[in-house]
Amino acid sequence: TTQQWQGLDRSHHMHPFTDPRDLNKKGTRVITRAEGVYIWDSEGNKILDGMAGLWCVAVGYGRQELIDAANEQLKTLPYYNSFFQTSTPSQIELSHVLSELTPPGLNRFFFTNSGSEANDTVIRLARYYWKLRGQPTKRTFIGRKFGYHGSTVATSSLSGMAPMHDQDHELLPHFAHIVHPHWYTQGGDLSREEFGLQAARELEKKILELGADNVAAFIGEPCQGAGGGIDPPSTYWPEIQRICKKYDVLLVADEVICGFGRTGEWFGSHTYGIEPDFMPMAKGLSSGYLPIGAVAIHDRIFEVLSEGGKMIHHGFTYSGHPAACAVALANIALIKKEGLVERVKSDIAPYFRATLQQMADAHPIVGELRGVGLIGAVQLVSDKANRTVLPPTHEAPIKAREFAIQNNLIMRPAGLQSLVVAPPLVITRTQVDELVDKMKRSLDQTAQLFGL
Ligand code: PLP
């Protein structure tokens, strides 16, 4: 029963990103099955999954093609590794298929189990690259405030989330952050485009402060996800790229959320015209059916790594797990067969954005709608006319999430006191209407509770 599950969960299960006290107060919600864009809990509630799990279930739940691919692979070869010059067919095929989807020059793939491991891999490989180029002092990674790149020791420092830094350690050495490109709170009288240039130039200032000889790379999500769906002004990425080139700083586009169609192109780098040296990815790569991540590596970087003349001491037992690779291949094939990337771009994302925009414009506690493609974030405000964002400790976003789940919708709080939705790419127009309707109802209840 639900009560028994909750009891055992409370006694033995430690949850990621959860306040343990909440489990004692409310107990966990047990999710037992899923189909399409819906999940069901153990009480039989049918809930619209506005977050595609954790931004990952691109093709929706219950897709037979992915299930069959996993079954077939598990029957034929459930496991083999890619250490010491061995490979399996699904690893080889997946690297090839990915090379046809990624921006030009990104032709080499290193497999991991997660986005965090993908970013950890980037840190190690980029530092090794500079060492091989005779510049071992180029070690520092510059990220952005509110950037999220993972939860390992290194990637929690790479991320720009203050509570992660405060929790268990100060920032590790060789990690620094610049401002997030959020016009609404920082733009003042500047136009979006002027502000985009100003925010990008913070990178130049930081490089000069640290010394270009000490900076290995800059990392950013094309559109910041967990930070609050922050889509940068059009001037931002071109200026960032100019600065990286000028100071010989590598550019890393973290595609863990943006990859595989969410922005309306295969990758966020396509959407914003980014030409990265490294492109970590995960989530939508397998639509979350099995864990897998990857790092796309530019030819010019791989060439140098190969010239090291010795083994690269990096890898995971499950790098390129055959079943995860087989599922990723089936997932990509399905995205292609159903034209989901094109569908996001020219059909469902425009509808999703227009519907959300209408709600956002009319709602008294929503200041702006942000995001791109099927990432939609609404900024909560106490004063719409004066662009006054709720204070960081205000409980409205958490309460709004609770109201949403009571209304059978998953949406989640994100950075800057915003709420975000990022549904599966297969969501229909009717389901978009349902999502926005439930979101509005939850925001109404929140506004009423706090007298906003
Ligand atoms: N990078 C980004 C942009 C993410 O959003 C996430 C997770 O949400 C990660 C990296 C970490 O990925 P994982 O949770 O698979 O380790």
- Among 333, 315, 337, 314, which Cα is nearest to 325's? 333
Question: Looking at the whole model, is its pTM more than 0.95?
Answer: yes
Burial of 419 (0-12, 13-18, 19+ CB in 10 A): buried
What separation in Å is there between the alpha carbon of 148 and the centre of ligand 1?
Answer: 7
Q: What is the mean pLDDT of residues 280-300?
A: 98
| pLDDT for 23 | 83
CA-to-CA distance for 304 and 182, rounded, in angstroms?
36
Tell me how crowded residue 304 is: count the other CB atoms within 10 A of its CB: 15
CA-to-CA distance for 338 and 348, rounded, in angstroms?
13
Q: Longest C-alpha distance within the chain, in Å?
A: 66
What separation in Å is there between the alpha carbon of 149 and the centre of ligand 1?
Answer: 5
| pLDDT for 432 | 98
% of the chain residues with pLDDT over 70 = 100
CA-to-CA distance for 340 and 281, rounded, in angstroms?
18
CA-to-CA distance for 152 and 159, rounded, in angstroms?
10
Confidence label for 22 from pLDDT (cuts 50, 70 and 90): confident
What separation in Å is there between the alpha carbon of 60 and the centre of ligand 1?
Answer: 19
User: Is the pLDDT confidence value at 59 over 80?
Assistant: yes
Confidence label for 309 from pLDDT (cuts 50, 70 and 90): confident
Tell me how crowded residue 337 is: count the other CB atoms within 10 A of its CB: 9
Question: Strands 31-35 and 175-178: what pairing?
Answer: unpaired
Q: What is the mean pLDDT of residues 165-175?
A: 89
Q: Which CATH class is domain 36-59+339-450?
A: alpha beta
CB 249 within 8 A of CB 215: yes
Give the residue whose CA is nearest to atom 3 of ligand 1: 256
Where along the chain do its domains lie?
A: 36-59+339-450, 65-337
Task: Say yes or no: do domains 36-59+339-450 and 65-337 share a fold.
Answer: no
Owner of token pair 């999710």: 31
Token pair listed for 438: 């439930």
| pLDDT for 197 | 98
Q: Which residues of 159-232 form beta strands (DSSP E)?
A: 175-178, 215-220
346: Cβ contacts below 8 Å, ≥ 6 apart: none
Atom of ligand 1 nearest to the CA of 293: 15
Question: Residues lining ligand 1, CB < 6 A?
Answer: 54, 114-116, 119, 148-150, 221, 225-226, 254, 256-257, 282
| 65-337 classified as CATH 3.30.420.40 | no
270: Cβ contacts below 8 Å, ≥ 6 apart: 103, 263
R_g over Cα of the chain = 22
Q: For 219-250, how does the pLDDT look when each residue is reduced to its tens digit (9 = 90+)?
A: 999 999 999 999 999 999 999 999 999 999 99
Q: For 380-439, how does the pLDDT look when each residue is reduced to its tens digit (9 = 90+)?
A: 999 999 999 999 999 999 999 999 999 999 999 999 999 999 999 999 999 999 999 999
User: Is the pLDDT confidence value at 169 over 80?
Assistant: no
| pLDDT for 24 | 83
CA-to-CA distance for 435 and 431, rounded, in angstroms?
6
Token pair listed for 18: 């959860």
Q: For 343-383, how does the pLDDT look when each residue is reduced to its tens digit (9 = 90+)?
A: 999 999 999 999 999 999 999 999 999 999 999 999 999 99
